Amino acid sequence: MASQQTRRDVYRLERLGFAAFGICLAALLFETYRRDRDRKFFLAAPDVSLRGVRTGTIDVQHSRETLVACEDHQGPMPNVPVRLSYHTNFDKAICDPRLHVLLLHGTGMLDSYYWWSRENLRRAGAHAMARAMSPQHETRSFVEKVIDAGGKGTCVTTFSLRGHGRSEVTEGPWTTKLLGQDVAAAFKKLHPGERAHVNGLSLGFGAAMQIALEHPEIARSLSGSGFLGDRATADARGGFVPLALRLVAWFFSRRPTIDVLGMHLMGFAADVVLSCKPAGLMSALFRYGTTDGFARASASWLGFDASARWPTLQPPLLWLAYPRDHMAGVSLDAARAEFAAVKAAQGPASRSKFVEVSVTGEEAHCRMCEAPDEYVGELMAFVRGVAADSKT
């Protein structure tokens, strides 16, 4: 009797196990379907937040000398062209060229993220992105907030970095220097003879640094948050926690790790690490990324070091820092030290400014994505000030 009861119990457990496996498999297949559907939608749908937005692609081919200059510990850069996608509402007939802002996104994001509001995303069917976006974007996109704060004549251009959005995923490795050179070359082809205020978040700030340092002819100013000019020794200056996060970032940028976890779970892990939320902004953004693009972009910033070039920076710098932005060594002390090198070289008359932006309740690395009014206000006040000093 006891053995029959045992067999029945085992049978029940087997059925429960098969049922659980079936549910998990169905959920995985459904999630894969939703991700593919959302990605196809988001890459193909028109941008609805603003009228007059032009989209397209720019082909970039770097010289061998440029590629050699972009090398770091990862070795030679492949000599292959890359196609970058862009969004812009810049129009000489209505825009003040002194108020042209170039926004660069971070790892795993898309440039078109800046052009949508939650309301428009819901209307268009991108519900995962709408849920993740800050309530501050309910009816106004990040770009609209920038234009409102900048005033009449303000225009915006964005590029999806190599491997993101509609931009091509090319052979690796990549470096932060290479991503910056991509955007600089594409900007010159899209807006010949124009200049812009270059702003970036995280990896985008690193690319913006490269543009401002190597191409001052197109950078009216440099601004951003969530990155350091010296990534190579950030862990040593930041202590154990940044070192641990650096190791986590390295682990999660490995192709085998991503293949096993999948992009959706990668977003889940990124949200837990960055904001202690299991389903937030990164979970939504990663739905629209590619495995190769994310892996190569994540690895690209590990050896970046622009600290020796800071004294040569010509455009004014606005460094927007958060008290709890510890992502891979981005601490207030490290940011202040790098800013001090710039300010000392540019002199007291420079408009360069270090601003500690207040934030409550959570890790601050992705706060620029949520466009808090303080961030946008500081950014555009800085842009207007620099523009006022320029006659052309």
Which of 168-177, 273-282, 287-296 reaches the highest mean pLDDT? Answer: 168-177
24 lies in some domain? no
Q: Does 276 have pLDDT greater than 60? A: no
Question: Can you give the pLDDT at residue 250?
Answer: 64
Q: For 196-235, b where at least 16 C-beta lie within 10 A, e where not — what string?
A: bbbbbbbbbbbbbbbbbbbbeebbbbbbbbbbbbbbbebb
Question: Can you give the pLDDT at residue 45?
Answer: 57
Question: Can you give the pLDDT at residue 273?
Answer: 57
90 lies in some domain? yes
Place of tokens 């209505």: 94
Query: In this structure, are residues 170 and 162 in contact, taking their beta carbons and an 8 Å threshold?
Result: yes
Question: Can you give the pLDDT at residue 268?
Answer: 62
Distance CA 392, CA 379 (A): 20
Question: Vertex 243, ends 354 and 200: CA angle to 5°?
Answer: 35
Q: Does 317 have pLDDT greater than 50? A: yes
Q: DSSP strand E in the chain: where?
A: 54-60, 82-88, 100-104, 155-159, 196-201, 219-225, 317-321, 353-356
Q: Does 281 have pLDDT greater than 70? A: no
Mean pLDDT of the chain: 79
Q: Is the C-alpha dihedral spanning 43, 49, 51, 54 positive or negative?
A: negative
In this predicted model, which residue has the larger pLDDT, 101 or 288?
A: 101
In this predicted model, which residue has the larger pLDDT, 255 or 231?
A: 231
Q: Does 238 have pLDDT greater than 50? A: no
Q: Which residues have a Cβ under 8 Å from the Cβ of 11 and sit 6 or more positions away? A: none
Q: How far is CA 20 from CA 11, 17, 25, 179, 265, in A?
A: 14, 5, 9, 44, 19
Question: Can you give the pLDDT at residue 48?
Answer: 55
Place of tokens 């061998």: 64
Q: Does 319 have pLDDT greater than 80? A: yes
Which of 4-13, 25-34, 229-238, 251-260 reaches the highest mean pLDDT? Answer: 4-13
Domain count, the chain: 1
Q: Is the C-alpha dihedral spanning 356, 359, 361, 363 positive or negative?
A: negative
Percentage of the chain modeled with pLDDT above 90:
31
- Lowest average pLDDT, out of 71-80, 122-131, 255-264, 285-294, goes to 255-264
Confidence of residue 285 (pLDDT cuts 50, 70, 90): low
384 lies in some domain? yes
Name the DSSP letter for residue 103: E
Q: Is the C-alpha dihedral spanning 191, 100, 82, 57 positive or negative?
A: negative
DSSP string, 358-378: ---SS--TTGGGG--HHHHHH
* pTM attached to this predicted model: 0.83
Question: Can you give the pLDDT at residue 195?
Answer: 96
20 lies in some domain? no
Q: Does 184 have pLDDT greater than 90? A: yes
Query: In this structure, are residues 150 and 41 in contact, taking their beta carbons and an 8 Å threshold?
Result: no
211 lies in some domain? yes
Q: Which of 335, 91, 101, 344 is nearest to 221 (CA)?
A: 101
Question: Can you give the pLDDT at residue 333?
Answer: 80
Write the pLDDT tens digit of every residue in 340-368. 999 999 988 889 999 887 765 455 666 55
- Which tokens is 77 given? 């850069």
CATH of the domain at 186: 3.40.50.1820
Distance CA 212, CA 321 (A): 19
Confidence of residue 40 (pLDDT cuts 50, 70, 90): low
184: burial class by Cβ within 10 Å (0-12, 13-18, 19+)?
Answer: buried
Write the pLDDT tens digit of every residue in 190-224. 999 999 999 998 889 999 999 999 999 999 999 99
Question: Vertex 334, ends 297 and 228: CA angle to 5°?
Answer: 20
215 lies in some domain? yes
Question: Can you give the pLDDT at residue 348?
Answer: 87
Write the pLDDT tens digit of every residue in 120-168. 878 777 776 777 677 777 788 888 889 999 999 999 999 999 988 888 8
**Cis geometry, peptide bond prior to residue 97 (ω within 30 degrees of 0):** no
Domain hosting residue 78, numbered range: 36-389
Question: Can you give the pLDDT at residue 159?
Answer: 95
21 lies in some domain? no
304 lies in some domain? yes
Confidence of residue 331 (pLDDT cuts 50, 70, 90): confident
